[in-house]
Amino acid sequence: MSNISHKLYTAEQVRGIDYAAIHAFDIAGYKLMCRAGRAVVDVATESFPDTRRWLIMCGPGNNGGDGYVVARLAVEAGIDVTVCSLVDPRQLKGDAAIAYSDWQAGGGEVANWPLPVNNTYDLALDALLGTGIDREVRGEFRGAIAFLNQLTCPKLAIDIPSGLNADTGCVMGCAVRAHNTVTFVGRKRGMYTADGPDHCGLISFDGLAIPAEAATEQSESAGKLLTMESLPETLKRRVRNSHKGSFGHVLAVGGISGMSGAIRLCGEAALRSGAGRVTLATDPAHAGMINLGRPELMVKAIGGEVELLTVLARDFVLAVGPGLGETDWSGSLFKICIESDAALVVDADGLNLLAQQSLDEPIYRDHWILTPHPAEAARLLNCKVADIQRDRVSAAKAIAKRYGACVVLKGCGTVVADVSGEYAICPAGNPGMATAGSGDVLTGVIAALLGQVLSCYDAACIGALVHAQAGDRAAAGLSETGMIAGDIIDALPGVWKAAGL
């Protein structure tokens, strides 16, 4: 598999790779279309082996051309195929016209839209709109998408579900909800964040045998899909001649009275992610009890600034925010943390305090990681949550640029972005992780990794991925509905073990 397989591209970048393949590497466009069609048929027959009657919905452009190639190859494989086009196929141009001509030459017919409503199809394939959509779906295409979605048979999207924005993952008014998607040339970043995962289903990628060199120019600004394969390459196995001081000391600051659970979850997650030592700097009201069930945690009762400054005389990685609150006590501790020289992870109430203090002039510092959910991200940029969700990658990049930070924008398809413009998307995780304390666990994981001499970006990427993988393990054993944040911590050792770490 070429090295573009785990890169993430915009629709324009994918078109650039396609153009380079055709014009710089002399691969005919129709040959690429035929390879795409073969990839779809192979995935469809493997994923849905008992389906014998397929419906293929075709639109204009090359996505419709892909559909005609799939239809021709499926018939050759003995499949009963119904093709329906929303446009007059005689008006198709270029490679799509060739694909239709080959379908017609083999005796293939095209049914008129609208089709009668029935559920006699075993599989429906979406080749309507492709990656170029940048406005709300209207007219007959809206009706066709609704028709596909109401069918009871499985749906497979060709390249991308129609109606899904390839760059942002947002539904443009309506979109096909596919069980499977076969995508080509380069992975589209919108398929992995926002609405993308709900509409794409299981994603298969085929590079169409395009040389990796065709993507060189586009890859310079491409994103990265986080996978477990890269984890051991970034976080090396420990040498035997080590001691607890080799793996960092995390100081987690937070836990106002009544919120001791948040800071403890953060601390336990840091311990389970390899931190050599973890100290909780927390409210004196519960400081003497917070580690009764986890004696490996050290605790410092912090009544105010003086106590925290005394503790900070040592070398720490700081994690501030879990259960911190927004009182005078909270604000004074937060101010000390962000003014320190320590590597820093900011979450929860720490982010709210940061947003309040940055309304006029943003606080800009080095070597820190911000981990907002969409509402916290909106406060950091002084905008609406809808603005964040409209383009999650751009929002994460904007926060990174504004604060000089590495940013982990949590949610479906968590986005990690660096001040340099580099970004990654985590495809793992599940809705069961939308539970109190899950973010505190992530903060602890990332802080522990920072203490093991990783860069902010690497710590954020690995932290987001391992946290999500642990969440998936917890959900597999307990269900998404039944899992809680502590179950994510319990699952962390299994993720590290699976990675050989």
Q: Would you say residue 63 has pLDDT above 90?
A: yes
d(CA 496, CA 501): 5
Instruction: Identify the band that residue 5 occupies on the pLDDT scale cut at 50, 70 and 90.
Output: low
d(CA 223, CA 203): 17
| Amino acid (1-letter code) at residue 275 | A
| Amino acid (1-letter code) at residue 413 | G
Q: Most distant CA pair in the chain: distance in Å?
A: 84
**438 near 410, Cβ under 8 Å?**
no
d(CA 49, CA 258): 56
- pLDDT value of position 2: 41
Tokens 């993430």 locate to 8
| Amino acid (1-letter code) at residue 185 | V
Q: Could you give phi then psi for residue 7, rounded to 5 degrees?
A: -85, 155
Mean per-residue pLDDT, 334-348: 96
Mean per-residue pLDDT, 236-257: 93
Mean per-residue pLDDT, 118-145: 93
| Amino acid (1-letter code) at residue 429 | G
pTM for this structure? 0.95
Q: Could you give phi then psi for residue 10, rounded to 5 degrees?
A: -80, 165
d(CA 318, CA 485): 21
Mean per-residue pLDDT, 348-361: 93
Helices (H), 129-230: 139-150, 196-200, 216-219
- pLDDT value of position 305: 94
Q: Would you say residue 233 has pLDDT above 90?
A: no
Which pair of tokens denotes residue 145? 């998408």
Mean per-residue pLDDT, 250-255: 98
| Amino acid (1-letter code) at residue 179 | H
Mean per-residue pLDDT, 436-461: 97
Instruction: Identify the band that residue 210 occupies on the pLDDT scale cut at 50, 70 and 90.
Output: very high
Query: Rounded to an integer, what is the distance from CA 1 to the centroid of its chain?
Result: 21
d(CA 4, CA 214): 10
d(CA 489, CA 105): 60
- pLDDT value of position 1: 33
d(CA 180, CA 52): 17
- Residue 81 three-state SS: strand
Paired strand residues for 251: 279, 318
Q: Which residues of 424-456 are buried (b: 16+ CB within 10 A; e: fewer)?
A: bbbbbbbebbebebbbbbbbbbbbbbbbbebeb
362-421: pLDDT as tens digits: 899 999 999 999 999 999 999 999 999 999 999 999 999 999 999 999 999 999 999 999
Higher pLDDT, 231 or 431: 431
User: In the chain, what are the domains?
Assistant: 7-222 (3.40.50.10260), 229-498 (3.40.1190.20)
Instruction: Identify the band that residue 4 occupies on the pLDDT scale cut at 50, 70 and 90.
Output: low
39-55: pLDDT as tens digits: 999 999 999 999 999 99
Average pLDDT, the chain: 95
d(CA 144, CA 129): 11
- pLDDT value of position 192: 98
Q: Would you say residue 440 has pLDDT above 80?
A: yes
